[in-house]
Structure 1
Amino acid sequence: MLKTGRTYLAATAVVLALAATGCGTKNGTGTGDPTAVPTGATSAAPTAQAVEVAPAALLKLVGEKTSAAKSAKVEGVTELPTGKTAMRGSISWDNGLQGELTGNAGGPMADALAKAGGDGTFTARYLSDAMYINMGDGMASQLGGAHWIRYGYADLAKLMGPAGDSLKQQLQNADPVNSVRALIASGQVTKAGTEDVNGTKATRYTGDLSAAEITQAAATGLTQEQIDGLQKQFKAAGISTEHIEVWVSSDNLLVKKVEQIQTTAGTVTSTAQYSDYGTSAAVKAPGRTDTVDFAELMKGAQGAAGGSAPTS
């Protein structure tokens, strides 16, 4: 495969990893204790008179119930300045992010995939240590007939630096309500009315995280050196604020969330909708004979270029 193809495959891996975290994960504890009952809420048994529960207290219950469900069907859309990626399938967060999502890419990303042999559609399979991406027969023809490319999370971390370390932690510690916990910890949760989400009446809650809170949320599980590097990358990218919205059903399950981050390159928006909690999301790694390892592809590119990494 041309070295440009390998570069596109690297970019695709990053986008699909980010899209997966938008569907299922966001390591975030913010500041403060997300398990504490906020001021103004009550933990006592309700009386005959209805008691209005504070948003943060209710979201704590939502987090507990959604986490306990361990799996769900999901539909997600990630909008980047370079294009949009849509995904749907089933995921589990019982032991890190696991499951299979199918989808398609649009805009410049689809054009890039076309140059690498793909048609813009893909299947992504997530396991505890790696994700596998199948971009169809056109791509397989350039990979010796193998349909699946394996991207080890450790290799993604090397590819992306400190941001990759954070992404690896998120993929291996999946939970769709970590964004809910980040909202609670921020202390800035607002109830914003009720709406219909795919036929389910849901209550919407909103909040905003500062640049420091975004870094704190993304730094879970990292060393101080990695956190310092992450702060530098975020600052260079101009990441300033994050807006979070979550929709909660009457039985205290997360049914939709939107996360929007501002950067110097433009706005990044991730939207995910959840249904059929408890559904099966079991997956296995593709067969070895139908799989190539991205790290080996990159080694081949470096060898062909005399030891230097591809640049185009």
Structure 2
Amino acid sequence: MPSSVRRVTRRRAAGAGLAALLLAGGAVGCSRAASDSSPGMAPAAAVAEAAKKTQDITSLRYRMAGTMPGEGKITAEAAMSMKPQAMSMRMTSSKTGSTVQLRVVDKALYLNGGPEAAKELGGKSWLKLDMSALGGLGDNLAANGTGAAEADKNPAAEAAFLTGAKDVKKVGTETVDGVRTTHYAGRVSLADVKAAAAKGEDKAARERREKSVEGYEKMGVDAIVMDMWVDGDHHTKRFRMRGEGDKGPLDMTVTFVDVDKPVTVTAPPAGDTTDLAQLMKDAQG
């Protein structure tokens, strides 16, 4: 790839590796208040029920904040639809000091790095990447922190991680965004996450979780301390993940605003978009 193209993609997408968590996220929900999310239910069973609820989710909105290995402090807000697959995210990273927008529409990934990045794209704000044709380019972009290889992940996978823990315990009851929840906690290794997925999930859910595990393995994280807040309808309202990666600590909290409500994501205007495939073709020409 020409150095100018590498520079543009890096600057446009700086900080978007966050999409892996997000792209990195968990199971979901906002719901009516309740005195206890799992009356008479053992902690492990309550966590398993919440994980099961994630499999039928069609859309969700969430916010996240914390620290990612190699990225520093991050904040983000996102919305995702599973069918059809679409996602919109706005995130800010302390590493770059800038805000990045990311959209996934019709199997294409769009990245907007702000005014400074637009200067290198002839004034156009968005860079388009065809996700189905990324191939080795996707690996290169992921290595540079763009999160392109992770952008199609379903964020419902991470909240199910706690089902693999052998020491799940009930911490107490707490109110999150006005919703009464039960707080659970435990420690789980990625090996146990994979084993739990193999036992109790359908093929689609298992593949989502395995793909999510790969993102953490690339960070060098091999075990996660996890807290989970479950509402009265057995939906995960919030979860927090902590661990140590090759490039620093992981400490991310994801709060779900709502679930199964309409999410519409549109592609940026064609006149304000540069197609990376065409850019490379022109460079080769």
**TM-score normalised over the length of structure 1:** 0.66
Q: Give the AA of the match of 2:175.
A: D
Equivalent residue for 2:200? none
Q: Give the AA of the match of 2:228.
A: V
Quick one: distance in 2 between partners of 1:182 and 1:241? 11
Deviations along 1:43-95, one digit per CA (max 9) or x if unpaired, are xxxxxxx9621223223332344443422321112512442221114222344
Shift, 1:282, TM fit: 1.4
Higher strand share: 2
Equivalent residue for 2:34? none
Secondary structure of 2:67's match?
strand
Equivalent residue for 1:43? none
Instruction: Determine if contact 1:100/1:281 at 8 Å carries over to the other structure.
Output: no
Whether 2:80 is the aligned partner of 1:91: answer yes
- The within-5 A match list for 1:35-54 is 52-54=40-42
Deviations along 1:188-238, one digit per CA (max 9) or x if unpaired, are 422221222122221112222224346777xx649xxx9xxx69x948x64
Quick one: distance in 2 between partners of 1:164 and 1:88? 21
Equivalent residue for 1:133? 111
What value does the CA root-mean-square deviation take over the aligned residues?
3.9
1:179–1:3 Cα change, 3 Å: closer
Which 4+ residue blocks in structure 1 deviate beyond 6 angstroms? 298-301
Give the paired residue count. Answer: 256
Equivalent residue for 1:77? 65
Larger RCO, structures 1/2 (Cα 8 Å, 6+ apart): 2
Q: Give the AA of the match of 1:182.
A: F
Instruction: Determine if contact 1:244/1:258 at 8 Å carries over to the other structure.
Output: yes
Equivalent residue for 1:60? 48
Q: Which moved more, 1:260-269 or 1:87-96?
A: 87-96
Q: Give the AA of the match of 2:67.
A: E
Equivalent residue for 2:222? 240
Equivalent residue for 1:142? 120
Quick one: distance in 2 between partners of 1:102 and 1:11? 11
Instruction: Determine if contact 2:105/2:265 at 8 Å carries over to the other structure.
Output: yes
Give the fraction of aligned pairs with identical amino acids, expressed as a percent: 24
Equivalent residue for 1:206? 185
Mark the runs of 5 or more structure 2 residues left unpaired by the alignment: 28-37, 198-205
Equivalent residue for 1:113? none
Equivalent residue for 1:21? 23
Equivalent residue for 1:277? 259
Match of 2:272 among 268, 274, 290: 290
- The within-5 A match list for 1:173-252 is 173-176=153-156, 178-213=157-192, 221=207, 234=217, 238-252=220-234
Shift, 1:274, TM fit: 0.7
Structure possessing the higher radius of gyration over alpha carbons? 1
Quick one: distance in 2 between partners of 1:195 and 1:102? 28
Shift, 1:161, TM fit: 4.4
1:18–1:136 Cα change, 3 Å: same
Q: Give the AA of the match of 1:150.
A: K
Quick one: distance in 2 between partners of 1:130 and 1:62? 31
Quick one: distance in 1 between partners of 2:168 and 2:135? 32
Quick one: distance in 1 between partners of 2:141 and 2:125? 28
Quick one: distance in 1 between partners of 2:20 and 2:162? 20
Instruction: Determine if contact 1:122/1:133 at 8 Å carries over to the other structure.
Output: yes
Secondary structure of 2:14's match?
helix
